Amino acid sequence: MMYYFGLMILLILIYQVMINITNEDNMDLMSRYDDNHFELAIVDPPYGIGWDGDNLESYNSTSCESWKGRKPKGYAKKNWDNEIPSKEYFIELKRVSKNQIIWGGNYFNLKPTGGWIVWDKGVVMPTFSDGEMAWQSLTNSLKIIKLLWAGYRKCEETNRIHPTQKPIKLYEWLLMNYAKKGDKILDTHLGSGSIAIACHNLSFDLTACELDKEYYESAMKRIKQHQAQLRII
């Protein structure tokens, strides 16, 4: 069943880059677009493993020093990671986008491919995976990116707003290696908004949505703060 929180839209047009983000169900969003409208979809849907709060911690600090000693902050349990997306979701995703990068592809019944992306987080922690995998349709080769991440990234992203938040640098790497100038990007699970900041930094148009109103508002705040910081610089 699809849920709808009431459409809220953020349109950002800076330096001819359009970031279009809505607070709605992803199936509603995709239904409005023609076949192959987007050159590339980069998505991070629920893995169905219950990793959405309660037992997770985040570390918040304005310091660029070691994460050790930071006060942990728990996430509210929202139950959005109890099930994987429906078969219809993946059909619609492939309808509206020419190519896809799907985080957690190893949890889904996707077409066999040699095209995988492995994110090596560079750390070993008892409650976090050492890395994550993304299924991709663009090439038939496996690529590995090593990027430090254990719920934080020193000096750059010390404030987490989402339990499965990914670093901006990771999305920038994906865009630089798998997207071409002028490509329209789609994200059906905005989460923390990292992809929006990466698209803004690298001048890619983005269409995205987030179903949870709290996550949506937190992501919007984060994106606006990033833009304000750039204007100061």
* More confident position, 184 or 156: 184
Average pLDDT over residues 4-18: 55
> Structure tokens of 210?
């987030």
Q: Check pLDDT > 50 for residue 125.
A: yes
Read off the pLDDT band of 129 (50, 70, 90): confident
**Eight-state DSSP code of residue 104:** T
Output the pTM of the full model: 0.83
The CATH fold of domain 35-206: Rossmann fold (3.40.50)
- Provide the pLDDT for residue 186: 98
- DSSP-derived secondary structure for 50-103: --SSSS-EEE--S--S-STTPPEEE-----TTSSPPPHHHHHHHHHHEEEEEEE
- Provide the pLDDT for residue 228: 75
